[in-house]
């Protein structure tokens, strides 16, 4: 297996040599580990290039705002995906769960708001009830995924591929394949397109959730267990961590966030968007992986995910502004994704040689 | 009746006539074993002698079919690894059971994290500084040289990883540390370090149960040696009596002795 490793003999007080190695070590960790520093620089460079090409329009407040709005729903899905991938899992169902939650929320609002003609004028009670039930529907899909994965030991890829089809299919069954319109207009005018001061509600909600769950991931026991399970689930089990229960919670979190995404998307478009989220799962997975989270589990950061969400959005926006076909965005993102995973593999190979 | 090792002390942990059968394979056939506080007792035997099986019963991983486990003079039922941990018995598994992406401190405190005082603690916010300080203290007490306390353990050498695993066991155990082949994957220098750590743990008054195939290691560090063969204890050596020939003889059955 691994060849014998040279070890510095002697007392444990740091010698000059050990101090330099730890400085080199720091350098190594910043640049070759999952540190999102590199990918953040990529984002900075992309932003700078577009800003220089079209200084007047790219960083205008309108474009910044639309960049953030476009990113906000993807961000929620990616935050949940970050937790899932850190446990060495995957969740392909998020886009379908988003659609399902949006459909349920819309149907509930219309049902308790007095039917499709009256619900448009319904008040906050109806809106909040619909949102809550929509989010709960997302949570339920997450629990479903988590139970099958953790307790029945079915691989996450298969379970969530199944629920990807089931959630979208049921959304179609419920609606007959036709998008649900006629939701309370207040939802669209406030959360959907309104602002709190200069900040759109969509962006605010998404940002608060992201920061909160970033703190949970990096500073709390819940986050620590998420990393531990992805790193070595057997070690976590032997350390007395309730691994199965934790996995169910993580998938439930991803489902609930997809539910929130469904509600926000409903608010933004003021209708469900049944056919618009087939590739959301891949967008979220790409963002998380580009952000430096390893598909093998155990490592990753929330900051990296945020950067990984913004790169495609900024790129798409920028290409439109400089009059390049926006199809190029998909080409570039594909390449960045492959490069990011290549670096992760490289890192794993070098570390296993120690 | 309490068996002794000749100086009248009571064993901290004892196995009496343990029987364990897997299907039609009888792994333990009335095995006896004892460990005393403040000693390193090596458990040796050829492959299939029942060493791992015996350790699993003592660590709460499995339950014996017959016989009893005695802890501090009382018959003890150890239904799970965490029950063993509550008694003060910690195990260092051969595959270490570390989370490679977490740092040394996080591994030592895995499943037993320190949280901040007050409301933050109730929300599960970790006290990373306190854990790092205590981990660093634990490493330096045991003479484990970890160059970077914040480095994920996968970046450490094999010997250092072993050091983390042993430090974890030593931090939580207050009675018995069981080590399954702690030097199997290590080079000469690293092995010597781990043996030194084992001595340190013993000198704190704990019982160290060392399972090993390495006769030089056993002869170097063990105060007493118990030999298993075909699921039974076939010999007990005091350090002074043990030679490579006598150990190998007992293991292979060339020399028959007491049970």
Mean pLDDT value of segment B22-47: 94
Rounded Cα–Cα distance for residues B65 and B37 (Å): 27
User: A221 contacts in B (CB within 8 Å)?
Assistant: 113, 115, 124, 126
Question: Could you tell me which residue, A264 or A237, shows the higher pLDDT?
Answer: A264
Which residue of chain A has the CA closest to B86?
Answer: A240
CATH of the domain at B246: 3.40.50.300
Query: Of the candidates B129, B155, B131, B159, which has an alpha carbon nearest to the alpha carbon of residue B144?
Result: B159
On the question of pLDDT at A351 being above 80, the answer is no
Q: Touching check for A52 and chain B: CB below 8 Å?
A: no
Query: Of B112, B145, B157, which has the smallest distance from its Cβ to A354's Cβ?
Result: B157
- What DSSP string describes B167-182? HHHHHH-SSEEEEEST
Return d(Cα A53, Cα A222) in angstroms, integer.
Answer: 44
What is the signed CA dihedral for B147, B150, B155, B156, rounded to 10 degrees? 40
Which residues in chain B are closer than 8 Å to A230, comparing Cβ atoms?
101
Quick check: A182 pLDDT over 60? Answer: yes
Best to test chain B binding among A224, A293, A349 (most B CBs inside 10 Å): A224
* A351 contacts B155? CB cut-off 8 A: yes
- Domain extents in chain A: 38-50+60-344
Does the pLDDT of residue A1 top 50, yes or no?
no
Predicted local distance difference test score (pLDDT) of residue A172: 96
User: Any idea which of A239-253, B125-139, B188-202, B213-227 has the lowest mean pLDDT?
Assistant: B188-202
Centre a 10 Å sphere on the Cβ of residue A22 and count the other Cβ atoms it contains.
16
pLDDT for the residue A38:
80
pLDDT of the residue at B7: 55
HSE at residue A169, side-chain half, CA atoms within 13 A, is 6
| A8 close to B (CB below 8 A) | yes
Q: What is the mean pLDDT of residues B82-88?
A: 90
Residue B125 backbone dihedrals phi, psi, to 5 degrees: -75, 125
Say whether residue A27 is in contact with chain B using an 8 A CB cutoff: no
Q: Do A21 and B98 touch (CB under 8 A)?
A: no
**Where is average pLDDT lowest: A17-26, A131-140, B53-62?**
A17-26
Q: What six digits make up the tokens of A308?
A: 């990984």
pLDDT tier, A58 (very low <50, low <70, confident <90, very high otherwise): low
Q: Which of the four pLDDT bands, split at 50, 70 and 90, describes residue B97?
A: confident
**Residue A292 at interface with chain B, using a CB cutoff of 8 Å:** no
Instruction: Give me the pLDDT at residue B124, please.
Output: 93
**B54-80, pLDDT tens digit by residue?**
999 999 888 999 999 999 999 999 998
Helices vs strands, H then E, count in chain B: 9, 10
Q: At A8, list the tokens.
A: 């510095």
Range A175-182 average pLDDT = 93
DSSP state letters, A276-323: G-TTHHHHHHHHHHHTT--TTSS---HHHHHHHHHHHHHHHHHHHHTT
> pLDDT band for position A9 (50/70/90)?
very low
Closest-CA residue to B85 (of B181, B205, B197, B171):
B171
Sole residue written with tokens 């609002």: A109
Q: What is the pLDDT at residue A2?
A: 41
Are the beta carbons of A5 and B102 separated by less than 8 Å? no
Examine residue B244 and state whether it is found in any structural domain, yes or no. yes
Q: Which residue has the tokens 């003889």?
A: B249
Q: Which residues in chain A are contacts of B98 at CB distance < 8 A? A: 232, 235
Beta strand residue intervals within chain B, DSSP E: 13-22, 25-35, 40-45, 66-71, 74-76, 89-92, 176-180, 207-211, 224-229, 232-238
Is residue A22 scored above 60 in pLDDT? no
Residue A8 has pLDDT above 70, yes or no: no
Q: Kind of pairing, strands A199-200 and B40-45?
A: unpaired
Best of B81, B89, B97, B99 to disrupt the A interface by mutation (most A CBs within 10 Å)? B99
Sign of CA pseudo-dihedral A308, A310, A313, A316: negative
Supply the range of the domain harboring residue B48: 1-82+216-259
Pick the CATH number of A38-50+60-344 from 1.10.1060, 2.60.40, 1.10.3470, 1.10.760: 1.10.3470
Q: How confident is the model at residue A322 (pLDDT cuts 50, 70, 90)?
A: confident
Model confidence band, residue A70 (pLDDT cutoffs 50, 70, 90) = confident
Q: What tokens were used for A10?
A: 């002697």
* pLDDT at res. A136: 98
Q: Does B137 touch chain A (CB under 8 A)?
A: no
pLDDT in tens, B201-219: 999 999 999 999 889 999 9
| Chain A contact set for B99 (CB, 8 A) | 227-228, 231-232, 235-236, 298
Ramachandran angles phi, psi of A125, nearest 5°: -60, -50
Contact state of B100 with A298 under an 8 Å Cβ cutoff:
yes
- Total domains in the fold of chain B: 1
The CA distance from B44 to A241, in Å, is 32
State the best of A221, A229, A242, A246 to mutate against chain B, taking most chain B CBs within 10 Å: A221
Query: Of A95-99, A347-351, B118-122, where does the model show the most confidence?
Result: A95-99
Residue B206 lies inside a defined structural domain of this protein? no
- What the block records as the tokens of A15 is 């010698």
Query: Within the 178-237 window of chain A, which residues sit less than 8 Å (CB to CB) from chain B?
Result: 219-222, 224, 227-228, 230-232, 234-236
Residue B55 lies in a domain: yes
ipTM above 0.90, yes or no: no
Sign of torsion, CA B21 B25 B30 B34?
negative
**Residue B177 within a domain:** no
Domain assignment present for B21: yes
Mean per-residue pLDDT of chain B: 88
């Amino acid at each position: 297996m691994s060849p014998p490793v040279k070890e510095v003999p002697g007392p444990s007080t740091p010698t000059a040599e050990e101090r330099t190695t730890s400085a080199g070590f720091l350098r190594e960790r910043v640049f070759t580990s999952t540190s999102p520093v590199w990918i953040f620089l990529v984002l900075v460079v992309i932003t700078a290039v577009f800003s220089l090409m079209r200084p007047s329009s790219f960083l205008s407040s309108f474009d910044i705002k639309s960049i953030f709005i476009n990113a906000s729903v993807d961000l929620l899905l990616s935050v949940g995906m970050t937790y899932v991938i850190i446990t060495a899992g995957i969740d392909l169902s998020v886009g379908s769960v988003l659609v399902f939650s949006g459909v349920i929320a819309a149907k509930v609002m219309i049902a308790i708001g007095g039917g499709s003609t009256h619900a448009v004028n319904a008040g906050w009670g109806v809106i909040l009830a619909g949102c809550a039930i929509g989010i709960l529907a997302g949570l339920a899909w997450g629990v479903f995924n988590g139970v099958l994965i953790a307790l029945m030991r079915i691989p996450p890829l298969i379970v969530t591929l199944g629920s990807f089809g089931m959630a979208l299919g049921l959304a179609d069954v419920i609606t007959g394949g036709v998008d649900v319109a006629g939701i309370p207009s207040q939802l669209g005018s406030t959360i959907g397109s309104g602002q709190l001061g200069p900040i759109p509600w969509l962006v605010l909600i998404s940002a608060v959730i992201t920061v909160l769950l970033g703190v949970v991931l990096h500073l709390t026991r819940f986050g620590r267990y998420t990393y531990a399970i992805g790193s070595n689930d057997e070690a976590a089990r032997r350390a007395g961590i309730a691994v199965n229960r934790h996995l169910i919670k993580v998938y439930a979190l991803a489902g609930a966030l997809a539910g929130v995404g469904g509600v926000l998307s409903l608010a933004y478009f003021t209708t469900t968007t049944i056919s618009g989220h087939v590739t959301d799962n891949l967008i979220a997975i790409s963002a998380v992986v580009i952000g430096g989270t390893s598909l093998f589990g155990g490592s990753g950061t929330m900051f990296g995910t945020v950067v990984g969400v913004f790169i495609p959005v900024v790129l798409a926006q920028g290409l439109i502004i400089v009059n390049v076909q926006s199809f190029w965005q998909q080409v570039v993102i594909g390449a960045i994704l492959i490069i990011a995973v290549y670096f992760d593999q490289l890192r794993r190979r070098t570390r296993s040689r120690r | 009746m309490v068996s002794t090792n000749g100086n009248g002390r009571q064993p901290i942990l004892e196995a009496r006539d343990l029987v364990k059968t897997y299907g039609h394979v009888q792994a333990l056939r009335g095995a006896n074993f004892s460990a005393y506080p403040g000693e390193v007792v090596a458990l040796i035997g050829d492959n299939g002698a029942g060493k791992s099986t015996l350790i699993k019963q003592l660590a709460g991983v499995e339950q014996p079919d017959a016989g009893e486990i005695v802890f501090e003079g009382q018959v003890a039922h150890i239904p799970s690894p965490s029950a063993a941990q509550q008694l003060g018995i910690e195990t260092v598994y051969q595959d270490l059971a570390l989370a490679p992406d977490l740092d040394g401190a996080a591994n030592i405190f895995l499943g037993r994290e320190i949280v901040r005082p007050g409301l933050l603690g109730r929300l599960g916010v970790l006290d990373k500084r306190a854990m790092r300080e205590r981990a660093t203290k634990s490493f330096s007490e045991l003479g484990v040289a970890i160059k970077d306390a914040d480095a994920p353990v996968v970046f450490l050498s094999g010997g250092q990883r072993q050091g983390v695993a042993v430090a974890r066991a030593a931090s939580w155990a207050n009675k018995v540390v069981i080590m399954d082949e702690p030097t199997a994957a290590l080079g000469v220098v690293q092995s010597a370090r781990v043996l030194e750590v084992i001595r340190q743990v013993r000198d704190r008054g704990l019982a160290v149960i060392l399972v090993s195939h390495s006769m030089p290691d056993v002869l170097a560090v063990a105060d007493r040696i118990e030999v298993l063969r075909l699921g039974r204890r076939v010999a007990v050596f005091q350090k002074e009596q043990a030679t490579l020939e006598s150990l190998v003889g007992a293991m292979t059955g060339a020399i028959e002795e007491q049970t």
